[in-house]
Each structure stands twice: as C-alpha cells, then as structure tokens.
C-alpha cells in the first residue's frame, strides 16, 4: 500500500540539471519515494551500504563523470553519506549535467546529515535542492485513508508512531520497532562519528526518552549520565543530525521574565521513543500520555512546515521565577505568531498564561487535542 508523499511534486520539479538531496531517517520511505518517481525511467542505482557501488562511483576523470551520466535517465545515490567526498561527486555530476545535450535526473538520499552537511554545502552550493522526508504525517495518512480513519486510530498512531511500514502493518508494529531500534537506529551515528555504543550514551538516550516534554539542561544531563557537558552537547547534536531527536528551543523577545536558554528534546517518531523504553501501553493507561501527545503534535507540526517549506519555526515559551507560566508551542514567522496548548481532552480549554497574553496580546492560543486535529490542520 503506497501512500503518496506531500513533497513529491517539489522533488519532481527540481531536476534536472540540479541534484535533489533527500534527507531523513532510515525507513521513512526515501528509496520508495524515488522508486515511485523514477518508475518509468532507466535508473542507475548506487547504494552506500554496498562497497562495490562505492567503488563504481569513484570518478577519477571527466570521462568517468560522463560515463556515469550516460548509464540511465535517472541516477539515484542511496545512503549518500557513506560515499567518500560525496559533495565533490555531486558537484562534478551537476556541472557536467548542465552542459550535457541530454540531461539526466540526479537524486541522492541520506539518513544522516553528518557528512552531507560538512561536504555537500561547501562543494555544491547552488547545485542542489535539499528536502527532508519525515515519517508519514497525519495529513498524508488522511489524504490516503480519510480523516475519519485517522481519528479512529489516532491513539495507536501516537503510541506506535508514523513510520510507513508501521502505519500499513500495525499488527507487527511492536516487533518491527524493537528490531529497528536494536539494529538500525544508531547505525549512521556510530559509523560516521566514531562513537562506540557505550553504557553512558545508552543512558543518555533513555533519559531523553523519559524526559520528553520537560525542559532539560546539558549540565543536568551531564551530571545524571556521568558524561561531560561537551559530550552531552555533541551527542544530542549527532542524534538530531541523524533524525532521531528534534530540539525545540525557548522563545524570548528579551523580556526579563522569559526563559531564554531552555530546551525541550523530542523524538522524531513516538514509536521509536516507546521502543527505546520498551513501553507500548495504550494511551488510556499511560502516566506519560500527555507528554507523548505533546511529542506527537510537535513532530506533526514540524512535518507540516517542512513539507510546505513555509519557514515557520517552533518554540516553547516559559517564564522564570517561582511560579513559572508556560505555553506548549509557538509558531513564528517574521512578526506573526500562533500558539498551541496540548490537551488530551477535546473539552479542555487552552488557558493562556497571563503574562504571555500581556506580552503578546495579538497571538491567539489554540487547544490541540487528538480529537480536533482535522480542524487545526484545515484552519
């Protein structure tokens, strides 16, 4: 069951002669999407997990570049972060493609932005269209199955997440997620960064999983894990670059009462988070149901803005002092703001923090519950 992805029109429109770089975690559907786009093409496929393909893409002369471009209508470089000097490789392919009589489509995928971020941007400025692919979004699921089906199964989606094969095969969701976290989740992080899977690193990941929705500090995480402050900062950066977690910063316009340096760290998929702590209990019986819904909603809004390329940024807001007030999420673009309070019940009302209302009287605060997702997404 192939579910159409919202970014497909953007990807199709960008080539040639540019190359499209599709970034996202493993198993989110990058290769499947490109196979769908290039279904009628003669495709030359290179996989970074295959040493033979890595050798085949070593271009030592202009003739080698021309040979690669002549092998098909479409070139797909999968798991591009594993190819040496991938930025230079893409630059040479695009430059030659611009001059070719018959231009080909060039795609690259990456399940880590580590090497891609270091090499591609410097080597191939102006030659690439970079887009993120996340796990399925609720709007993609609704476009395929209808909002009624989504809302009937929303609790299951919150618990098991939105990976495509989890959504389409819910009967094997638990075993699939546990196998994924045990075998693939950290594969690129360990391979590209030189980190060895240590007890302290595992403790940090589990600690982040238990603290979704809570404000964290690197100092506090360092004390609790026995890692240095620098190590915690680097590990979290790597986790974010490998699309395992997503950091949400605090919003402030320099009012003295506003928290300026706090961070919340959410998981890019709630099913992965629950696999890490090995808890797939139904929403109705979970002590962490509110935090889990908050994580799910945050990532759905991240997907929405990423798919639309609308440049909105998400924050949380909190005051300092003995009795802090908090707003779950604020979306900001230029001088426009919109706020959301996450509630499990559709009957709950968003109680705008008094100090927030005074500081930002033009920003409306909306209640976001699992039951009213359709209304929020269509507004």
Paired tokens of 221: 């995480």
Q: Which pLDDT score, from 0 to 100, does residue 12 have? A: 87
CB 330 within 8 A of CB 317: yes
CA distance 4 to 106: 21
How large is the average pLDDT for residues 107-115? 77
**Edge-to-edge strand ranges of the sheet holding 313-318:** 215-216, 263-267, 245-250, 313-318, 326-333, 336-342, 365-368
* Bridge partners (DSSP) listed for residue 366: 340
Q: Read off the pLDDT band of 354 (50, 70, 90).
A: confident
Number of H helices, E strands in the chain: 19, 12
Q: Which pLDDT score, from 0 to 100, does residue 119 have? A: 53
Q: Which pLDDT score, from 0 to 100, does residue 150 have? A: 96
Paired tokens of 83: 């190819």
pLDDT, averaged across the chain: 88
All domains of the chain in start order, with CATH: 8-132 (3.40.50.300), 141-378 (1.10.10.10)
Residues 227-271 pLDDT 10s: 999 999 989 998 998 899 999 998 877 655 556 677 999 999 999
Most confident stretch, 113-117, 178-182, 215-219, 299-303: 299-303
How large is the average pLDDT for residues 343-371? 84
How large is the average pLDDT for residues 292-304? 97
Q: Greater confidence, 222 or 121?
A: 222
Most confident stretch, 24-38, 135-149, 228-242: 135-149
- Report field, pTM of the whole predicted structure over 0.95: no
Q: How far is CA 160 from the centre of its chain?
A: 16
Length of the chain: 379
């Amino acid at each position: 069951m192939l579910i159409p992805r919202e970014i497909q029109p953007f990807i199709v429109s960008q080539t040639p002669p540019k190359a499209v770089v599709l970034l996202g975690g493993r198993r989110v559907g990058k290769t499947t999407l490109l196979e769908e786009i290039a279904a009628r093409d003669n495709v030359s496929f290179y996989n970074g997990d295959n040493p033979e393909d890595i050798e085949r893409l070593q271009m030592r002369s202009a003739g080698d570049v021309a040979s690669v471009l002549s092998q098909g209508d479409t070139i797909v470089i999968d798991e591009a972060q594993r190819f040496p000097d991938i930025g230079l490789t893409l630059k040479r392919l695009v430059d030659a493609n611009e001059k070719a009589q018959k231009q080909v489509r060039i795609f690259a995928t990456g399940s880590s932005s580590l090497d891609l971020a270091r090499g591609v941007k410097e080597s191939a400025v102006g030659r690439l269209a970079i887009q993120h692919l996340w796990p399925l979004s609720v709007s993609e699921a609704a476009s395929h199955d209808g909002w009624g089906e989504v809302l009937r199964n929303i609790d299951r989606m919150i618990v098991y997440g939105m990976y495509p094969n989890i959504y389409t095969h819910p009967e094997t969701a638990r075993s699939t997620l546990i196998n994924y976290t045990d075998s693939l989740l950290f594969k690129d992080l360990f391979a590209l960064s030189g980190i060895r899977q240590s007890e302290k690193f595992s403790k940090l990941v589990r600690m982040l999983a238990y603290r979704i929705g809570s404000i964290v500090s690197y100092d506090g995480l360092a004390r609790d894990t026995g890692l240095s402050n620098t190590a915690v900062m680097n590990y979290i950066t790597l986790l974010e670059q490998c699309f395992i977690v997503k950091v949400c910063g605090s919003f402030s316009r320099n009012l003295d009462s506003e928290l300026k340096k706090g961070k919340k760290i959410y998981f890019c998929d709630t099913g992965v988070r629950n696999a890490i702590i090995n808890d797939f209990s139904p929403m109705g019986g979970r002590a962490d149901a509110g935090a889990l819904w908050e994580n799910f909603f945050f990532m759905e809004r991240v997907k929405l803005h990423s798919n639309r390329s609308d440049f909105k940024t998400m924050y949380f807001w909190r005051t300092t002092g003995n009795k802090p007030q908090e707003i779950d999420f604020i979306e900001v673009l230029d001088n426009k703001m919109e706020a959301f309070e996450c509630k499990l019940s559709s009957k709950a009302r968003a109680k705008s923090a008094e100090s927030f209302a005074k500081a930002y009287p033009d920003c409306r605060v909306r209640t976001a519950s699992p039951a009213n997702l359709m209304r929020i997404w269509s507004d």
